[in-house]
Amino acid sequence: MIRIEKLHKSYPIGKDSLHVLKGLDLHIKEGEFVSIMGSSGSGKSTLLNIIGLLDEHDEGKYFLNGQLIEHLDEKKAAILRNKFLGFVFQSFNLINYKNALENVALPLYYKGIGRKDRQKIALQYLEKVGLKDRADHLPSELSGGEKQRVAIARALATNPKVVLADEPTGALDSTTSHSVMELLKEINREGMTVLVITHEEDIAEETDRIVRLKDGVITSDEKVNKKATI
Amino acid sequence: MFDLDRWQEIFQTISKNKLRTVLSGFTIAFAILLFTLLFGVGNGLKHTFEKQFAGDAQNSIYIRSGRTTKPYKGLQSGRKIQFRNDDAKFMNEKFESDIQFFSPNIERNVQAIYKGEQNRYTLRGVYPDYQPLEEAAIQEGRFISFIDLKERAKVIAIGRMVEKDLFGNRSAMGKNLNLDGISYKVIGVFSDPGGDNDERFIYTPFTTAQGIYKPNDEVDRFGLTFNPKLSVDKALAFSNLLTKMLKEKHNIDPRDQRAIRVQNYAEGTKNVQQFMTVLNIIILFIGIGTLVAGIIGISNIMVYIVKERTKEIGIRKALGATPKSIVGMIMLESIFVTAISGYSGLLIGVFSLRALGKSLEKYFILNPSVETYVVVGATIILVIAGTIAGYIPAKRAARIKPIIALNDQ
């Protein structure tokens, strides 16, 4: 699903440039539940932005769903994002003047789906995350966990290939964090490829595979030994 | 082109962000309102001046005689100058190409009696040419004709106010009116843009008046209009030459200002025209100033709005919005808000001008109004300005990487 070869990325800082990603190789197959771990400055967010087509890489190759990503203009990137990717952010990034249902329906609008169908699909996904009864609430009327559930519903609405979650539990308490992770697990069990970025060990433990990043290189990439949870 | 979904999205954004909408809408509405009011008041001033100087043909010249104030060629001062028929002939021969309409004139104050009603009016013995000179418009019947002149007919054309004074609501046409004991038949009723005073004149054939009220061929004064093709300066030169030749003819010192007085409307017209030009420039200046202020206002607000929405734009982009759809959304929104509010500012302005119109008359502001195309033009300019002002930051916002927009606090 995601194949990265010798990926480099640097950011200009004044006259110098900061080399953030130094030749990464990563392969994530369809249906995997992967976490990328690293302390701040390790390059994990940069990696996610490149995978999420929110930023461009300098060198190396990136295949998304078998398609080589290079020389993307904004329009193509937008279409690919809409088609293949669902985002979950640490700060939720819901549009504050739209209610939960409208927020979930927004990517469907950009996909070109009619209003009636948008409402129907959005409601289905809200139901899936257990917030059907909160459909007409504004983000300001929802708790942090509820907001993140709405954001997850929004990420799923277009039925993407990959869900990218950037510190999805960063702004949540441990109980809520756990339930959000349960939700992501459930989504993964249904076949969705999920990529989580985190710096919390116990969050990473809940995924199937942990990729550790340090100073722009992958230091380890291992499967998690699942404890019997049920 | 018309995309219901897109408009629903825009309506939602507008209605959910009231402060923003009100802010930009108010700027436009207020600018257009001010523009309309200032322009309207300026036009009102203009109308007042136009009215003050209406009433006579703009190219008319009136020539009167008086007494000499300087001795000349052995003649004493204080001598009375009397125009006669040969002066009319003299002027028409000398200035044939410069004169458009010409009429000698005899004036007499008369007591007019019809049945029980009576009043004093000025009776004027004139040529048919006098009608365009005064810009009198026949309402009923006709003006004095050359046949009347030839036959010395005792006929009169009366002003609208004379008819109203003496005949009330009845028609004066064909009735006989007693003027100082002599009976005249009313052949016409006229109105005059000069107002009530000019509509209280009574006109009779020149020959009739001369025969009845003058012992011989005396004339009280002359009225003429110069060829309208003459420029203001040429017209003034013409009237100066005319004065000079008349003074020569009557043996008057060229420096004598009282013996023959020539009143040339061209002089007044020139002043009025200059004044109007200045007034127009002032109005234009105010209008442009208001517009520029409005443009700056709406531009600032558009820049602020787009800045405020940076994060939202980032979210939308992450969810799959193309740059084009982002720019389109912001543009349509701003065009919609500015057009609607510009139109309401226009309406408020026009209605307040209409409501205030009457009460402003005592401040020399008459019928303050704005030509529709001017206000609509101003509104369009503001809408375009708002669009351009919104376009530049919107374009920039749509171009920045979503990740940067998302990190914007």
SS3 annotation, B201-268 = EEEEEHHHHHHHHCCCCEECEEEEEECCCCCHHHHHHHHHHHHHHHHHHCCCCCCCCCCEEEEEHHHH
Confidence of residue A150 (pLDDT cuts 50, 70, 90): very high
Q: What angle do CA B373, B379, B384 make, to 5 degrees?
A: 120
Of A55, A94, A158, the CB nearest to B403: A55
Mutation choice for B interface testing from A45, A47, A74, A80 by most B CBs within 10 A: A74
Model's pTM, two decimal places? 0.66
Tell me the three state secondary structure of residue A72. Answer: coil
pLDDT computed for residue B76 by the predictor: 85
Q: Which contiguous run of DSSP H or E holds residue B126?
A: strand B117-126
Inter-chain touch A54–B401, beta carbons under 8 Å: yes
Q: Output the DSSP codes for B350-409.
A: HHHHHHHTGGGGGGT--S----HHHHHHHHHHHHHHHHHHHHHHHHHHHHS-HHHHHH--
pLDDT computed for residue A227 by the predictor: 54
pLDDT computed for residue B403 by the predictor: 72
Residue A203 scores a pLDDT above 60: yes
pLDDT computed for residue B294 by the predictor: 80
Pairing of strands B117-126, B201-205: parallel
Instruction: Quote ipTM for the complex.
Output: 0.88
To the nearest whole Å, the CA of A31 is away from the closest chain B CA by 22
Pairing of strands A59-64, A33-37: unpaired
User: Is A18 within the bounds of a domain?
Assistant: yes
- For residue B405, list chain A residues with Cβ-Cβ distance below 8 A: none
Inter-chain touch B317–A89, beta carbons under 8 Å: no
Could you tell me if residue A202 is left (phi over 0), alpha (psi between -120 and 50 degrees) or otherwise beta?
Answer: alpha
pLDDT computed for residue A228 by the predictor: 47
Inter-chain touch A93–B315, beta carbons under 8 Å: yes
pLDDT computed for residue A103 by the predictor: 93
Cα B317 versus chain centre, distance: 57
User: Is A219 within the bounds of a domain?
Assistant: yes
User: Is A43 within the bounds of a domain?
Assistant: yes
Inter-chain touch B319–A114, beta carbons under 8 Å: no
Residue A182 scores a pLDDT above 50: yes
Q: Are B251 and B82 in contact (CB under 8 A)?
A: no
Asked if A111 is an interface residue toward chain B (Cβ–Cβ < 8 A), one would say yes
User: Is A193 within the bounds of a domain?
Assistant: yes
Q: Give the residue among B82, B129, B84 at the shortest CA–CA distance from B103.
A: B129
Task: Give the pLDDT of chain B (409 residues) as one tens digit per residue.
Answer: 457 777 877 888 888 778 878 887 888 888 888 888 888 888 888 777 777 665 566 788 889 998 988 888 888 888 888 999 999 898 888 888 888 899 999 999 999 998 888 899 999 999 999 988 888 889 889 999 999 999 999 999 999 999 999 988 888 899 999 999 899 999 999 988 877 888 899 999 999 999 999 888 899 999 988 888 888 788 888 888 989 998 988 988 888 888 888 888 777 777 777 887 888 888 888 888 887 888 788 778 778 878 888 888 888 888 888 888 888 888 888 888 888 888 888 889 888 888 877 777 777 777 777 777 877 887 788 778 777 877 887 888 788 777 777 776 5
Inter-chain touch B321–A110, beta carbons under 8 Å: yes
Say how many domains are in chain A.
1
Q: Which of residues 277-336 of B touch A (CB under 8 A)?
A: 311-312, 314-325
Mutation choice for B interface testing from A95, A99, A159, A164 by most B CBs within 10 A: A95
The neighbour count for residue B229, using CB atoms within 10 Å, is 11
Q: Which of residues 11-30 of B touch A (CB under 8 A)?
A: 12-13, 16-17
Q: What is the pLDDT of residues B191-203, one digit of tens each?
A: 888 778 888 999 9
pLDDT computed for residue A141 by the predictor: 94
Return mean pLDDT, chain A. Answer: 89
The torsion angles phi and psi of B80, rounded to 5 degrees, stand at -80, 130
pLDDT computed for residue B142 by the predictor: 92
Q: Are B391 and B331 in contact (CB under 8 A)?
A: yes
- Which tokens is B51 given? 């009215």
User: Is A228 within the bounds of a domain?
Assistant: no
Q: Output the DSSP codes for A175-222.
A: HHHHHHHHHHHHHHHTT-EEEEEES-HHHHHTSSEEEEEETTEEEEEE
The torsion angles phi and psi of B144, rounded to 5 degrees, stand at -60, 140
Asked if A115 is an interface residue toward chain B (Cβ–Cβ < 8 A), one would say yes
Residue B115: which residues within 8 A CB-CB, separation 6 or more? none
Residue A48: which residues within 8 A CB-CB, separation 6 or more? A36, A164, A166, A195, A197
**CATH number of the domain to which A168 belongs:** 3.40.50.300
Q: What is the pLDDT of residues A89-121, one digit of tens each?
A: 888 899 988 999 999 999 999 888 888 899 999
To the nearest whole Å, the CA of A78 is away from the closest chain B CA by 4
Containing domain of residue A75, as a range? 2-223
User: Is A132 within the bounds of a domain?
Assistant: yes
Helix, strand, coil percent content, chain A, rounded in steps of 5: 35, 30, 35
Asked if B392 is an interface residue toward chain A (Cβ–Cβ < 8 A), one would say no
- For residue B4, list chain A residues with Cβ-Cβ distance below 8 A: 115
pLDDT computed for residue B57 by the predictor: 64
- Which tokens is A92 given? 């939720």
Tell me the three state secondary structure of residue B309. Answer: coil
Count, residues in chain A: 230
Rounded Cα gap, residues B200 and B182, in angstroms: 19
User: Hey, what amino acid is at B197?
Assistant: N
How many CB pairs (< 8 A) connect A and B? 68
In B, minimum Cα distance to A138 occurs at B16
pLDDT computed for residue A230 by the predictor: 45
Q: Which of residues 81-100 of A touch B (CB under 8 A)?
A: 81-83, 87, 89, 93-95, 97-98
Q: Are B263 and B65 in contact (CB under 8 A)?
A: no
User: Is A205 within the bounds of a domain?
Assistant: yes
User: Is A229 within the bounds of a domain?
Assistant: no
pLDDT computed for residue B56 by the predictor: 61
pLDDT computed for residue A226 by the predictor: 63
